[in-house]
């Protein structure tokens, strides 16, 4: 959802320009830019077995379904290479987030620092690492990360939302009853997407923001 904050919001424009500066950087494998976001997911099962597709007849699915709980899908993408990764968990606590950050740095062993773009969820801080791991390990992971937060009402600045939209439309727009089956579906999508990666060309720049979103900037 495209959300715009009240006029003359210095906090918004400061964080927005910081994120846009990161997106303007050229590709550097030692300083990769990775966008991270989470998507809540409702686990559902069929109450009646669907009738399979036949010649001249589509698959028939009953409108009644069974609720099987909820989960949260962590999605990462590197816009300049097209790489994606996703993983579903039963929760999205500080521990879950910290474990995903641990996985993230392992994906980029050559990186001096991974520049991470993410939103302002209360668990999205280095504090979560220290809640999850011993201080020595938490510090080691934190030293590999350079985190940049999108502003409040500015989640549209996170390119991970594009990856989530693609995942939702092409992979998980059906009834899936368990986290295990959900991760199987996600793994297939991830394998397919990374075999034929598509770069994301982000074109909205700071110079554009200062014109198109002029009312958000403080007036002196």
Q: Is residue 207 part of a domain?
A: no
Note whether residue 218 is domain-resident: no
CA atoms within 13 A on the CB side of 36: 29
Tally of structural domains, the chain: 1
The residue range of the domain holding 70 is 10-50+58-193
Would 199 be classed as within a structural domain?
Answer: no
**Mean of the pLDDT values across residues 126-142?**
98
103 and 133 in contact (C-beta within 8 Å)? Answer: no
Better-scored residue on pLDDT, 88 or 46: 88
CATH number of the domain where residue 32 is located: 3.30.420.10
Q: What is the distance between the alpha carbons of residues 119 and 38, in angstroms, rounded to a whole number? A: 9
How many helices (H) and strands (E) in the chain? 7, 5
Task: Evaluate if residue 102 carries a pLDDT over 70.
Answer: yes
Note whether residue 4 is domain-resident.
no
What is the CB neighbour count within 10 angstroms for residue 73?
22
CA–CA gap between residue 119 and residue 6 (Å, rounded): 18
As a whole number of angstroms, the distance between CA 189 and CA 182 comes to 11
Average pLDDT, the chain: 92
**Domain-embedded: residue 93:** yes
Torsion of the alpha carbons at 99, 105, 108 and 111, rounded to the nearest 10: 170
pLDDT digits (tens, 9 = 90+) for 170-196: 999 888 999 999 999 999 999 999 999
pLDDT value at residue 1: 46
pTM value is 0.90
pLDDT of residue 57: 77
What is the number of other CB atoms lying within 10 angstroms of the CB of residue 33? 23
The secondary structure of residue 84, as a DSSP letter, is E
Segment 25-54 shows an average pLDDT of 89
Please report which residue ranges of the chain form alpha helices under DSSP H.
10-23, 94-107, 127-132, 135-142, 160-170, 179-195, 206-212
Question: Residue 214 pLDDT more than 90?
Answer: yes
Q: Is residue 217 part of a domain?
A: no
Q: How far apart are CA 197 and CA 215, in angstroms?
A: 37
- pLDDT at residue 95, as a whole number: 97
**pLDDT for position 203:** 94
In a domain, 210, yes or no: no
């Amino acid at each position: 959802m495209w959300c715009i904050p009240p006029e003359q919001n210095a906090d918004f424009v400061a964080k927005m320009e910081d994120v846009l500066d990161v997106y303007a950087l050229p590709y550097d494998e030692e300083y990769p830019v990775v966008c991270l976001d989470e998507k809540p997911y409702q686990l559902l099962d069929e109450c009646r077995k669907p009738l399979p597709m036949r010649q001249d007849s589509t698959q028939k699915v009953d409108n009644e379904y069974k609720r099987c709980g909820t989960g949260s899908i962590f999605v990462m993408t590197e816009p300049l290479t097209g790489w994606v990764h996703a993983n579903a968990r039963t929760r999205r606590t500080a521990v879950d987030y910290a474990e995903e950050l641990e996985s993230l740095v392992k994906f980029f062993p050559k990186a001096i620092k991974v520049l991470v773009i993410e939103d302002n969820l209360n668990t999205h801080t280095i504090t979560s690492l220290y809640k999850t791991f011993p201080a020595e390990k938490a510090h080691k992971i934190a030293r590999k990360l350079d985190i940049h937060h999108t502003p409040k009402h500015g989640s549209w600045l996170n390119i991970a939302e594009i990856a989530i939209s693609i995942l939702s439309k092409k992979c998980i727009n059906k009834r899936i009853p368990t986290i295990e089956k959900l991760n199987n579906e996600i793994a297939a999508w991830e394998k397919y997407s990374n075999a034929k990666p598509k770069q994301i060309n982000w074109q909205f720049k700071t110079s554009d923001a200062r014109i198109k979103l002029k009312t958000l900037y403080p007036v002196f």
